[in-house]
Structure 1
Amino acid sequence: MNVAVSVESPTRALAEFAANLTYEDLPADLVAQAKQCILDSLGCSIFGSNKPWTLAVARVVSRLDQKKSASAFGMNLRADPTGAALINGTSAQGFELDDCHDQSMSHYGAGVVPTVLAMAEAFGPFSGKDIILATVVGYELGTRIGNTVSPHAFNRGFHPCGLTSTFAAAATAGKLLRLNVDQFVSALGLAGSQAAGLMASQYGAMAKRFHSGKACQNGILAAMSAQEGLTGVRNVLEAPYGGFCSTYAETYDLGYATKGLGTDFEMRHNGFKRYSSLASSQTSVDALRALRELHGIKGEDVEKVFIETTAMVHRHCGWPYVPAETITAQMNLPYTAAVTLLEGNAFIDQYTDEKLRDPTIMDLANRVEVVIAPDLDALGPHEMRAVRVTVTMKSGESFTHAQTYRSGHWKNPLSDDVLKAKFRDLAGRVLAPEAVKEVEAIVSTLETQGEPAPALGTALQKLRA
C-alpha cells in the first residue's frame, strides 16, 4: 500500500524547504560533510576524466562547440555548464568510486558536484557558502525523493542515478539560481519528466557512466527552464497517474520525502566508497579482507566461496560472471570476491583490462555462490547490503565472517584523513602535484572563499607533465 503524508503536497513541501533554506540554517556537521562530498566527488571525476566513456562524451560536447564558460575536470576543454556537467558527471561515476546513499541506492556526488561547480563557474559570482548550501539542498532532495521509491524502482530495472540524481541536480541548480517556491516546484516537475536510466547497462555498457552526466545536464535544464517560466508537473511526486512515484514504483512511501524535513537531514546517511566496485559488493570485500587477515588465507588455496546476502544484493551483483566490459566486472560480486581473495583488494588496479579475462580470477569467480539469506533480507533499509561470507579451503577448513555495513557506510564511516588520502591518490594520477594541493586547499576552506569556482576550474585543468 502506498503511504500518504500529512502535508498537502510533498512536492511543494520539498520546494518550500529548498527555496527557504539558508546557510545559517546548516548544522556544522553538514557543512563539513558537504566539503567532504565535494572533495571526494572531484577526486572520482578527475580520475575518471581520461577513461574511454568520458572521452567519448567529451568529444560529443566538443563537436557541439558550446559557449566555453565552465571547465571539464582533468582535461583541457571548456563548454557551457550543461556540457561541462555532462562530462564531469560521467567521469565522476566513471570508475565506481563515487559516494553512495545506501537506502536510495544512488550516488549523488556525481549528480550534485558537477552541477554546482559548472553553474557557479558559468553564472557567478557565487561564494563558497553558496556552493555548500546548494550542495546540501541537492543531496537532501535527491536522497529523500530516492527513498520514496527505493528499492522498488531499482527492482523494476531503473538506475537510481539516472532517476533521482536528476532531481538532485535540479535542486542544486535551482538553489544557485535562487528560484522561488513556485519555480522550484516547476524545476522538480521538469526534472521528473527527464528522469531516466536502465539497469541492464550494468552487464556490459558504458551507458551506466553516462546516466549521472545526463542527470546533471537535465537538472540544469530543468532549473533554468523553470526560472524562465516553463512549468513542470506541479505534483510530480504524488500524482496518482503519471507521477514520478506512481510510474517508477509499484510500491512507494511518500512519507520519506517530508519526515523530519529541515531537522533530520537525510544527507547524514550519505557515505563514501573505499573500493572501486558497486556499493552492493563492498560488504563482501570487507568480509573477505578480514578473513584474509585473520586466517592468512591465500586465494589460490580457496576451494569455494559462499555468500549469503539480501535479495537486493543478489539481484544487483550476484549473477554469474561473464566478461564483457570494465563495468561488467565492477558490477559483479563473483569477480570482485575472487579478485579480492587473490590480490587482497578491489580498488583501481583490480579492474584493469588485462584482468577482466584472467583465467585464474575467472576460475575462482566460477566457484563463488551468492544466495539470499532470509534473516539478512529481513533487516532494515540501512542494512540492505548485509552479508555472511564463508570461505572453504582446499584443505577442507572453512571460515565465516559477517559484515553488516560496508566501509564508508554512515554507520561505519571513513575518517576525513582517509578520504583526503583517497582524493590525493585519484587526483594525483591526472593533475599536477601543485594543482592537487590547490584544489584540496580551496575545498577544505570553502566556507571562507569569496568566489572559488574560477580558481577551482583553473586548478582542475592543470595536468601532470
Structure 2
Amino acid sequence: MNAPAKFVVPGATRDIADFAANLQYGDIPDDLILNAKQCIRDSLGCGAFGAPTPWVQAVVRTVNLLGQKPTASAWGMKVKADPLGAAFINGTAAQGYELDDCHDQSMSHYGAGVIPAVIACSEGAFGAFTGKDMIRATVAGYELGTRIGNTVSPSAFHRGFHPCGLTSTFGSAAAIAKLLDLDTDQYVSALGLAGSQAAGLMAAQFGAMAKRFHSGKASQNGIIAALCAREGLTGVRDVLEAPYGGFCSTYSSDYDLKFATEGLGTDWEMRHNGFKRYSSLASSQTTVDALRAIREKAGIRGEDVEKVRVGTTEMVYVHCGWPYVPNGETIGAQMNLPYTGAVTLLEGNAFIDQYTDEKLVDPRIIDLANRIEVFVDPELDAREKHQMRAVRVTVTMKDGAEHFHEQTYRSGHWRNPMSEEALKEKFRDLAGRQLTADAVAQIERIIDNLENEEAPAIALGAALQQVR
C-alpha cells in the first residue's frame, strides 16, 4: 500500500511541532541546560524515593503481568521493564509523594511525565543517546508541555481535569519525538496522538492512588504517541486548534492559543518551571511558607493556636481548601490545606515525615485542622495567573494575639527559587533513603557532567538500581 499523501494543516500545532523538530542543542540557552539537568536530577530523586510506596508497587505488579522484554530500569528497585513499563512505573514513582517539580501557570508536573520517558527510551531499546540528546529532548518536552498547558489553564482544572494527565502526555510525546529525531510531519502526528490519549480526573485528589498513576500513564502514552508517529500512524493534525473535538476546545472554556506559540525560541516557558520544598501539593505551599514565617518570627507553638484564616484564590480554595477528613490515603492529607497547615504549625515542616500513617489520624493535627478556615479573597483572586497561589494568613492565638503574613510565591517557584545546593540536598535526601551512598554520588556526578556524557542513561539506570 502506498504511503498517504502529506496533508498539511497550518496553525499552532504545526508551528510548535516545527519549532521542536528543528530544535538543536546549540539553540538552548545555558540557563536552560542547567534547568534541564536540575529537572532530571530532581525527578530521579523523587522517583527513587517513591519506589516502595504501595501505589508504585501496584503498578510494578501490573507491568510484570504484561511480560515484555526488560531493557529499562525501574528507579529505586531491582526491577527492569520494557520502556513503556518503566516509564509507567517511574512516572508514577516520581509523582508518588508530591515532591516533583511544578509549572505553576499550567498547573502540571512535567518531571514525572517527561524524565521517565526520556530515561527509559535512552537505555538501549531505541539506540544510544548522548547527554546532549537527553537534554535537548527534555527541553523540547518541557517547552511544548508547558506551553500547551498554558493554553487551557486554569479552565481545564476547574472543569475537573487533572493537568498532569492532560498536558504531561504532550510533554512526554514531544520529548520522545525529539529524542527519535522525528521530522515536522511526524512531530505533528505525535502531538495529535498524545492529545487523543490525554486524560485524568481531579476527583482523584480526595483520596485515590490514581492521582500518582496519571503521571505514569502520561509518560507511557507519550512514548506510544511518538513511536506510532515514527511508524506512520497519523494523529489529529490540528489537535490544539480544532474547533470541534480539538484538545483546547474540548478541555477549556476560555483557551488562548497565543500561549502555545508566542515567543517560541526566545521566551522560554521552561524558565517558569519550579521545584518543591515540601511534600504537599503546590497550592498549599505558600501557606506552609507563611506559617513557617509566622512561627519563626513570633516564636509561637502550634498548641497555643486558637484558629487560622487563609485568604486565597478560587483555584487554591477549590484545589485544597476543603475540610480534612482522614480516609486512610496519604494523598488525601497531602492534597489538603487544613491538614498541611496544622502539621506545619505543630511540627514546623510539611515534608515526608509529616505524612506518615500515624499522623494522618493524629487527634492533635485533626483538631487544629478543623480550626483552619480557607476562603476566597477577591483581591487575590483578581491577580494575574502567575500569582494564582497567593495567600494571606492570619493566626489567632488562644490569648487573643494575632499574627499575619502574606505569601505570593511559594519556596521553589521560579520567582522565589531554591538554590542549586538546596536542590542537590533535596536529591541526596530523597535518593539516599532508597539507594546506596555510592549510587547517589554517581548519579549526581553524571547529571553534573551530563552534556559531556556519551551514553549516560545506561549508567544512570544501573545506579538507580543499587538499592540499600
Task: Quote the residue 1:400 is aligned against.
Answer: 404
Match of 1:369 among 365, 373, 395: 373
Q: Which amino acid aligns with 1:177?
A: L
- Rounded to whole Å, the distance in 2 between the matches of 1:59 and 1:443 is 30
Deviations 1:39-65 (A, max 9, x none): 001000000001000000001111211
Task: Quote the residue 1:340 is aligned against.
Answer: 344
> Secondary structure at the residue paired with 2:395?
strand
Q: Which amino acid aligns with 1:35?
A: K
Match of 1:208 among 195, 207, 211: 211
Deviations 1:317-340 (A, max 9, x none): 000001111000000000000000
Deviations 1:368-402 (A, max 9, x none): 00000011011111100000000000000000000
- Rounded to whole Å, the distance in 2 between the matches of 1:38 and 1:447 is 12
Q: Which amino acid aligns with 2:277?
A: R
Determine whether 1:170 maps to 2:173. yes
Match of 2:54 among 34, 52, 55: 52
Q: Which amino acid aligns with 2:439?
A: A
- Rounded to whole Å, the distance in 2 between the matches of 1:64 and 1:82 is 10
Determine whether 1:133 maps to 2:133. no
- Rounded to whole Å, the distance in 1 between the matches of 2:351 and 2:300 is 19
- Rounded to whole Å, the distance in 2 between the matches of 1:114 and 1:448 is 21
- Rounded to whole Å, the distance in 2 between the matches of 1:361 and 1:84 is 37
- Rounded to whole Å, the distance in 1 between the matches of 2:342 and 2:145 is 34
Q: CA deviation at 1:416?
A: 0.2
- Rounded to whole Å, the distance in 2 between the matches of 1:376 and 1:313 is 11
Task: Quote the residue 1:95 is aligned against.
Answer: 97
Task: Quote the residue 1:185 is aligned against.
Answer: 188
- Rounded to whole Å, the distance in 2 between the matches of 1:405 and 1:217 is 32
Q: Which amino acid aligns with 2:23?
A: L
- Rounded to whole Å, the distance in 1 between the matches of 2:19 and 2:300 is 52
- Rounded to whole Å, the distance in 1 between the matches of 2:347 and 2:299 is 13
Deviations 1:301-357 (A, max 9, x none): 000000000000000000000111100000000000000000000000000011111
Q: Which amino acid aligns with 2:194?
A: A
Relative to the length of structure 2, the TM-score reads: 0.97
- Rounded to whole Å, the distance in 2 between the matches of 1:77 and 1:8 is 44
- Rounded to whole Å, the distance in 1 between the matches of 2:428 and 2:68 is 31
Match of 1:243 among 242, 246, 250: 246
Q: CA deviation at 1:136?
A: 0.1
| % identical equivalent positions | 72
- Rounded to whole Å, the distance in 2 between the matches of 1:412 and 1:46 is 26
Deviations 1:97-134 (A, max 9, x none): 00000000000000010000000113231000000000
- Work out the number of aligned pairs and report it: 458
> Secondary structure at the residue paired with 2:122?
helix
Q: Which amino acid aligns with 1:50?
A: P
Q: Which amino acid aligns with 1:312?
A: M
Task: Quote the residue 1:414 is aligned against.
Answer: 418
- Rounded to whole Å, the distance in 2 between the matches of 1:173 and 1:52 is 28
- Rounded to whole Å, the distance in 2 between the matches of 1:388 and 1:129 is 43
- Rounded to whole Å, the distance in 1 between the matches of 2:345 and 2:40 is 32
Deviations 1:212-248 (A, max 9, x none): 0000110000000000000000000000000000000
> Secondary structure at the residue paired with 1:178?
coil
> Secondary structure at the residue paired with 2:197?
coil
Determine whether 1:295 maps to 2:308. no
> Secondary structure at the residue paired with 1:239?
coil
Task: Quote the residue 1:438 is aligned against.
Answer: 442
**Segments ≥4 residues shifted beyond 6 Å:** none
Match of 2:463 among 442, 456, 459: 459
> Secondary structure at the residue paired with 2:414?
coil
What 5-or-longer segments of structure 2 have no aligned partner? 1-8
Say what the alpha-carbon RMSD is for the aligned residues: 0.7
Q: Which amino acid aligns with 2:19?
A: F
Q: Which amino acid aligns with 1:143?
A: T
- Rounded to whole Å, the distance in 1 between the matches of 2:147 and 2:364 is 43
What 5-or-longer segments of structure 1 have no aligned partner? 1-6
Relative to the length of structure 1, the TM-score reads: 0.98
